[in-house]
Amino acid sequence: MANNGANELLLSQSLDPAAPKAKRQLNKRRFLRSRSAPRAPELVPPETNDYVSIPRSEPIFGNLHPSFKKVAICLSVYLGVGAVIFYLVGKQIKGQKTNGVLDAVYFTIVTMTTVGYGDLVPNSDLTKLLACAFVFSGMALVGLILSKAADYFVEKQEILLVKAMHLRQKIGPTEILKEVEVNKTRYKFFLVFSLLLVLIIAGTIFLVNVEKLEIIDALYCVCSTITTLGYGDKSFSTQAGRIFAVFWILTGTITLAQVFFYIAELNTENRQKELVEWVLTKKVTILDLEAADLDEDGTVGAAEFIIYKLKEMGKISQEDISLVMREFEQLDVDQSGTLSISDIYLAQPS
Amino acid sequence: MANNGANELLLSQSLDPAAPKAKRQLNKRRFLRSRSAPRAPELVPPETNDYVSIPRSEPIFGNLHPSFKKVAICLSVYLGVGAVIFYLVGKQIKGQKTNGVLDAVYFTIVTMTTVGYGDLVPNSDLTKLLACAFVFSGMALVGLILSKAADYFVEKQEILLVKAMHLRQKIGPTEILKEVEVNKTRYKFFLVFSLLLVLIIAGTIFLVNVEKLEIIDALYCVCSTITTLGYGDKSFSTQAGRIFAVFWILTGTITLAQVFFYIAELNTENRQKELVEWVLTKKVTILDLEAADLDEDGTVGAAEFIIYKLKEMGKISQEDISLVMREFEQLDVDQSGTLSISDIYLAQPS
């Protein structure tokens, strides 16, 4: 019903473009419902806003986000193939060995993360070329984890963290979501930084107790590993050490990379905030008004002002505007400068 | 003069908000000049649009972009400090040695890029902790090079490349700039990918001829180096080799990282293009018109349509819009729904 009213309103105005603005003002707010534009469900880049777990019926990766699922499958396949191949060519790999399968997985992890200790090294042309193939694909895979899965994972934990931090204040879920939204990157940074510290401490304790390293050597091995430096003079040589290493190296290297990533993001956000601040506080001049008058009707409406300011902030470009403007002109059949229902019916015959 | 005309026009309309639109339409295009919003000169993030070399009078980094200069200074300081420190503690580093200073620089480069062959390793608590400090700061520095200098460098070469490619067609500088603009990332990718191939071939030839490696071993060492894997079973052991390595490792690792970066960027751009395509070709419905009517006056103007579509494309958010809307409401003193000169004079007394 409200919808029909809107139709009539838009229709009548489109037929009478010279209708006085005062009358239109009176009619305003009559049919308004949703202000938010829907997004294309399958086309939205996963890193922007769709970290919502979609319930599915699949058994293994059931409650996971599609792109996270993709990463998990890629990682499993990569490690599986790596384990089988390097197990089969195990005799062509020289160095400190423990258990055949374990060494193959450990070698795959050390290679894909580019740690490359050198405690196990390829010893034939075949294994050397295999190592080259695995390091390139491993780098791509780590990039995929960093761009898709890591951020998603942190995002999920973030809400739990903020909830836990405000447990005593008894704030509602809406406030928590708002708090998370405003300081998103800051929370994410603290979260991965804390995880990094835990991993560093856990790694050091493990190396001291299981691999029997001195404390400085253990810390040095930890730093050399998570940064993927991997000189290789200190590494995991026992069976227990390598089981630990398989999980610890992958999480450690990715967590450190993520810490660096969030630092860069915080920097960019701060610069962006400064720019927004500058754009919003600087004086609006007559020249600004002239330049902002997009439809060239001699006045600057709210929407025109918003476009002008967002352009100043660098959020949108002239190209973006021109692109949509062309669609607008095609839709505006009666060339009234505004879109009405009759316009869209005439422009898009179904 | 034209400016005064504009003032009068905007003023008269602000005093008479109910002036018929038809009259305003007649006046349109009378005072229009520039459609482009100026940007804050010093606040714009350097990676977005200011790759213009600013002529300065300084002697060394004279014609370079400020952020590039900053990176060059950081790198020089880092390498200088690394060379001095590791030269002084040279006796506490064990492994294959050539020349004191050269080994110190080589060790610094192998550490900062996280290649970490292990052909030279710290042999005391002091050098181990120093290596930890250098690998963390080195990673940050490589990140800085990747985010600021590398792209700037590629951007500069890109124009030369397009010029060279179209040398026979005799196209003007405007066409070259346009061609570069449209396929920016594609050209950048081809450029760094070609550079990577050159570096791989040069490295292999060098290792075969100077370090006397077999061809497969040379290629394996090249791959293991540029990916920062650095098992260390094959590395640069001669004096000539290490001089070459100092330059080659830094360029090689950064070029490969840049190749991965541009691949990711091309992917994002393609997804973004698909989304834009989807938003621009999908049918505009009555619900869209309702939601797009930002000033709630019952009609959808060009600017409102642009905002709605850019929001659908994910380029701007509701938060961005609300932020500017607040400023608009403060400036719109007479609450006419449009900004006029009298509004901005009243809202911003100077």
Distances (CA, A) of A120 to A90, A247, B258: 10, 18, 29
Do B83 and B101 form a contact (C-beta atoms < 8 A)? yes
pLDDT over 60 (residue B190): yes
pLDDT category of residue A111 using cuts at 50, 70 and 90: very high
Closest in B135, B264, B302 to A328, CB measured: B302
Strands B93-95 and A338-339: unpaired
Tally the C-alpha atoms within 13 A of residue B152's C-alpha that lie toward its C-beta. 24
What pLDDT is attached to residue A167? Answer: 65
Tell me the pLDDT band of B15, cut-offs 50, 70 and 90: very low
Collect all residues with Cβ–Cβ distance below 8 Å to A7 and sequence separation of at least 6: A341, B286
Is pLDDT at B32 greater than 50 in this prediction? no
Which residues on A lie below 8 Å from B274 (Cβ)? 43
What distance in Å separates residue A242's CA from the closest CA in chain B? Answer: 17
Q: What is the pLDDT of residues B196-255, one digit of tens each?
A: 999 999 999 999 999 999 999 999 999 999 999 999 999 999 999 999 999 999 999 999
Q: How confident is the model at residue B37 (pLDDT cuts 50, 70, 90)?
A: very low
Q: What is the pLDDT of residue B167?
A: 65
What is the distance in angstroms between the Cα of B168 and the nearest Cα belonging to chain A? 30
- Residue A114: predicted pLDDT: 95
CB-nearest to B139 from A227, A315, A348 is: A227
B46-99 pLDDT, tens digit per residue, is: 443 333 343 444 445 556 677 788 899 999 999 999 999 999 999 999 999 999
Q: Does A170 touch chain B if contact means CB atoms closer than 8 Å? A: no
- Within 10 angstroms of residue B293's Cβ, the number of other Cβ atoms is 27
Is residue A31's pLDDT more than 70?
no
Average pLDDT of the residues in B315-335: 90
Q: Encode pLDDT of A137-188 as tens digits.
A: 999 999 989 888 888 777 777 777 777 766 666 666 677 677 667 778 888 8
Smallest CA–CA separation between A60 and chain B, in Å? 28
Q: CA A227 to CA A243: how far, in whole Å? A: 20
A315 contacts on B by Cβ (under 8 Å): 315-316, 320
pLDDT digits (tens, 9 = 90+) for A226-254: 999 999 999 999 999 999 999 999 999 99
Give the HSE-up count for residue B43: Cα atoms under 13 Å, Cβ half-sphere. 18
Out of A9, A219, A301, whose CB is closest to B298?
A9
Of A3, A299, A318, the CB nearest to B340: A299
Which chain B residues are closer than 8 Å to A311 by Cβ?
A: 36-37
Interface test with A, best of B35, B39, B130, B181 (most A CBs within 10 A): B35
Amino acid identity of B187? Y
CA–CA separation, A246 vs B131, rounded Å?
24
Q: Which of A20, A279, A338 sits opposite B301 (nearest CB)?
A: A338
Which 3 state secondary structure label does DSSP give A183? Answer: coil
Spell out which residues of chain A touch residue B300, defining contact as CB-CB under 8 Å.
10, 338-340
Whether residue B335 lies within 8 A of chain A, CB to CB, comes out as no
DSSP string of B40-90?
Answer: -TTTS-HHHH---PPP---STTTTS-HHHHHHHHHHHHHHHHHHHHHHHTG
- Tell me the C-alpha distance between A176 and A170, whole Å: 10
Distances (CA, A) of B185 to A15, B267, B268: 46, 10, 11
Predicted local distance difference test score (pLDDT) of residue A343: 87
Single pTM value for the model: 0.79
pLDDT digits (tens, 9 = 90+) for B300-321: 988 999 999 999 998 998 888 9
Question: Cβ of B171 under 8 Å from any chain A Cβ?
Answer: no
Beta bridge partners of B339: A300
Cα separation of B138 and B144, whole Å?
10
Residue A64 pLDDT grade (very low, low, confident, very high; cuts 50, 70, 90): low
Nearest-Cα distance to chain A for B324, in Å, is 6
Chain A nearest C-alpha distance from B170 (Å)? 27
Nearest CA among A69, A48, A52 for reference residue A60: A69
Q: Which residues of B touch A118 (CB under 8 A)?
A: 117-118, 230-233
What would the two tokens of residue B247 be?
């330059």
Interface of B with A in 123-162 (CB under 8 A): 125, 128-129, 131-132, 135-136, 139-140, 143, 147
Cβ–Cβ gap B10/A299 under 8 Å: yes
Q: Is the pLDDT of residue A205 over 90?
A: yes
Q: Return the amino acid letter for A108.
A: T
CA distance B252 to B255: 5
* Residue ranges of A 246-305 with Cβ closer than 8 A to chain B: 260, 264, 268, 271-272, 274-276, 278-280, 282-305
CB-based contact, B203 to chain A, within 8 Å: no
Q: How many CB pairs under 8 A join A and B?
A: 403
> With contact defined as beta carbons under 8 Å apart, do A163 and A191 qualify?
no
